[in-house]
Amino acid sequence: MTISDLCQSTCTALDGIYQYIRPLLANRRIIRSKIGVYALPGAAPVFVTTDHAIIRALRRRLMRLPALARHIKKPPTTVLSGLSRLKKVGTVKHGGWGAEYRLARRVRMVRRVGSRAQQKT
């Protein structure tokens, strides 16, 4: 059911609908099947953003743009806009023109505890 249908059938304002939808989404009582469309679990497929589909595909292997677009079944322009967002955030790396896209490595900061106390004076 769309948000506008919910507003009309319950005679509730848009802000009020979202106030009730947020806890239901958090508790997984309802799922988002499209932007602005919600359903009961199992009644419709879950909505997956392009960014999440790109990240999931790149977890498996490195890919070039055409192969990535075929894999997630989206047009190359849509995939390219998602890749540019992910590159800006630092989630995806690109080797250059015609190169493959890959996930960026996460660097963990290791904190040395008591490093000065271990030094001999």
For the domain that residue 83 is a member of, what is the CATH number? 1.10.10.10
State whether 32 and 59 are in the same domain.
no
Domain enclosing residue 11, as ranges: 3-39
pLDDT digits (tens, 9 = 90+) for 56-85: 999 988 999 999 999 999 999 999 999 999
Confidence at residue 116, expressed as pLDDT on a 0 to 100 scale: 54
What pairs with residue 31 in β-bridges?
A: 39
Q: Kindly state whether residue 93 falls inside one of the protein's structural domains.
A: yes
Where is 53: in which H helix or E strand?
A: helix 50-60
- The pLDDT, as a whole number, for residue 38 is 86
Among residues 24, 48, 49, 34, the alpha carbon closest in space to that of 1 is found at 34
User: Are 67 and 96 in the same domain?
Assistant: yes
Backbone angles phi, psi at 61, to 5 degrees: -165, 165
Cα–Cα distance measured from residue 60 to residue 39, given in angstroms and rounded to the nearest whole number: 30
Residues 33 and 67 in one domain: no
Please give the average per-residue pLDDT across 94-112, as a whole number: 74
Enter the tokens of residue 91: 């989630």
CA atoms within 13 A on the CB side of 70: 4
Mean residue pLDDT across the chain? 83
Question: What's the confidence (pLDDT) of residue 107?
Answer: 53
Predicted confidence (pLDDT) at residue 121 exceeds the cutoff of 50: no
Q: Which helix (H) or strand (E) holds 109?
A: none
Domain count, the chain: 2
pTM of the predicted structure, to 2 decimals: 0.63
